[in-house]
Structure formats: C-alpha cells, structure tokens
C-alpha cells in the first residue's frame, strides 16, 4: 500500500489531473445534495404563524395527528412510517443487496411549533430522512423473529428460500411518533384547511436537527468527491504503468 502511494505521488501531472477530474465528477454527482444544502442555508427557520402563502420555509416543530396510524413491522403508533426490506442475492461468485420492498405511509399529519400548525401530505416529492428505529436481519442459520416474519408475509415478502431455508435479509423501519421533533423544508400554501406544505414542490421531512442534517449531506458530498479523486488517480496510474 505504501509503495503504491509513493509511486502515485511521484508520477507525472496526468495522475494529479485525473484525480482532480474525478473529484470534480464526484462533485457534479452530488448536485442534488448541494442544492438541498444551499436551500437549507439560504432559508431561515421561522414561526409557522408568520409565514405567507407560497413562501419557501424552514420549520422546526413537533409531529401531531388527529388519528395515529400503525407501522407495518412493529405495529408502533405513529404519524408517519417508512419501511425498507433488502435481500442478499448471489450471481456467480459475487453477491449484492436488492431492495425487495419499500413503502411510506400516505396519511396526512401536522407539525406545530407553539404559534400554529401546518399540514403535511406525504407525496412522491417528499424526501424523508429519519433515523432507523428498527433494524433486523436474518441469515441461513438465524431467522427473523416471528412478529417480523408475520408482518413481512402480510406485505407479500417471502422470508424463506429453497428447502425452507432462511433468506439473508435486512429489515429497516423508521417512524415519527406524536410529539417527535420534526424539521421541514419546503414551500407553504394556504387553503380552507389552513396552512399546508406544497405537495408539488420538493419537501424535506426529518427527525434530525438542521445542523445534523447539513452535516449528513456534507459528509456524503465529501465522500463522493474523495471516491472520485482516488478512482481517477488510480485509473490514470494503472493505464500509465501498464
């Protein structure tokens, strides 16, 4: 490893330029994350009661709903849930994880901050960033608990493979409960119901604070750039020294 790095550093300008180009491509691939960061930084957090219709807003409040729903896996009372199930599949000598089920609740919920409340209707343009509340896994020699297997069966997900052996699976469930802290970034509208988040505009919903969410996005951008730099430099080094 040290010899490779030494040769890489002592090589000609083309390796450095390839690394810079790779880093730039990594930056370009992060344009959506960078766009969200710019919107977050450029939008001040305010009180719901002070927002005007069709204004881009940033809200920090608490989750609420007149009627709660149940999450599919653990049957937890909540106002919003998100489930993802992945299965490990083999192809020749390699294997990879494939998402076999993914879903998000569609019931509307409110966010309030003491000055007012805003209604959120989950839609395809809503991006959810929630911490994992439940993480479970299975393999050939260990199975998911009975409740999780039953819940997955109800969702149409088979947990058994050939000869009745357990499949290698990962189950993640995330949810917002009554009173949980919520961060919203989007456009607000007013109608007969009151204030609602625009379902036709990008909407970020998270149980992370703004600062933590910014750190998460920045870390992903940095990783993309770093991978681009290393990949570009390594490829150039390989072709030069073939």
Predicted local confidence at residue 75, as pLDDT? 95
Predicted local confidence at residue 6, as pLDDT? 57
Asked if the model's pLDDT at residue 191 lies above 90, the reply is no
Predicted local confidence at residue 20, as pLDDT? 78
Per-residue confidence band for 3, with pLDDT thresholds at 50, 70 and 90: low
Q: Residue 117 corresponds to which tokens in the numbers above? A: 């409340």
H helices within the chain, ranges in order? 2-9, 13-28, 31-42, 146-154, 210-240
What percent of the chain has pLDDT above 70? Answer: 94
CA gap 40, 57 in Å, rounded: 9
For the stretch 81-135, pLDDT in tens is: 999 999 998 877 788 999 999 999 999 999 999 899 999 999 988 999 999 999 9
- The single residue listed with the structure tokens 């993640």 is 172
Contact 144, 136 (CB under 8 A): yes
Predicted local confidence at residue 164, as pLDDT? 77
What is the DSSP secondary-structure string of 118-137?
Answer: EEE---TTEEEE---SEEEE
For the stretch 22-72, pLDDT in tens is: 878 888 888 889 999 999 999 989 999 999 888 999 999 999 998 999 999
């Amino acid at each position: 490893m040290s010899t490779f790095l030494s040769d890489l550093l002592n090589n000609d300008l083309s390796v450095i330029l390839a690394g810079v180009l790779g880093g730039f491509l990594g930056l370009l691939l992060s344009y959506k994350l960078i766009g969200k960061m710019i919107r977050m930084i450029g939008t001040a957090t305010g009180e719901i009661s002070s927002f005007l219709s069709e204004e881009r807003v940033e809200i920090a409040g608490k989750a609420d709903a007149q009627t709660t729903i149940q999450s599919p896996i653990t049957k937890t009372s909540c106002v919003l849930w998100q489930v993802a199930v992945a299965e490990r599949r083999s192809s020749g000598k390699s294997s990879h994880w494939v998402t076999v089920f993914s879903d998000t609740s569609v019931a509307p919920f409110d966010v309030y901050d003491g000055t007012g409340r805003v209604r959120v209707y989950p839609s395809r343009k809503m991006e959810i960033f929630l911490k994992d509340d439940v993480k479970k896994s299975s393999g050939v020699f260990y199975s998911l608990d009975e409740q999780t297997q039953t819940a997955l069966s109800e969702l149409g997900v088979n947990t058994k493979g050939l000869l009745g052996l357990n499949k290698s699976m990962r189950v993640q469930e995330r949810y917002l409960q009554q009173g949980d802290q919520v961060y919203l970034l989007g456009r607000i509208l007013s109608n007969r119901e009151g204030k609602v988040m625009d379902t036709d505009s990008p909407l970020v919903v998270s149980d992370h604070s703004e600062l933590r969410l910014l750190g998460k996005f920045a870390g992903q951008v940095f990783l993309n750039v770093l991978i681009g730099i290393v990949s570009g430099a390594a490829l150039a080094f390989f072709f030069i020294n073939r």
